[in-house]
Structure 1
Amino acid sequence: MRIFKTKIFAKFAEKHAISDSCLIDAVKRAEKGLIDADLGGNVIKQRVARQGQGKSSGYRVLILYRINGAHYFISGFSKSRYANISKSDEYALKLLAEQYAMYSQEKMMQWVKLGILIEIPDTNLQE
Structure 2
Amino acid sequence: MLLISCPTIRAAEYNVTDAMLCDAAKEIEAGLVDARLGGFLLKKRVAAPGRGKRGSYRTIVGHRQGDRLIFVHGFAKNGTENIETENITKKEKEALRRLCDVYMLADVRKLAEMIETKQILEILCHEQDS
Normalized against structure 1, the TM-score is what?
0.85
State the one-letter code of the partner of 1:96: L
Q: Deviation at 1:87?
A: 2.2
Equivalent-residue separation in structure 2 for 1:73 and 1:6 (angstroms): 6
Aligned to 1:5: 5
1:92 maps onto 2:95 in alignment: yes
Deviation per CA, 1:36-55, whole angstroms, max 9, x where unpaired? 11111111110011232110
Equivalent-residue separation in structure 1 for 2:109 and 2:66 (angstroms): 12
Equivalent-residue separation in structure 1 for 2:126 and 2:36 (angstroms): 22
Root-mean-square deviation (CA, aligned residues, Å) is 1.9
Gaps of 5+ in 2: none
Runs of at least 4 residues of structure 1 off by over 6 A?
Answer: none
The alignment partner of 2:5 has SS state of: strand
83 and 64 in structure 1: CA distance in 2 versus 1, 3 angstrom threshold: closer
1:51 maps onto 2:54 in alignment: no
| Sequence identity percentage | 30
Equivalent-residue separation in structure 2 for 1:110 and 1:70 (angstroms): 16
98 and 7 in structure 1: CA distance in 2 versus 1, 3 angstrom threshold: same
Gaps of 5+ in 1: none
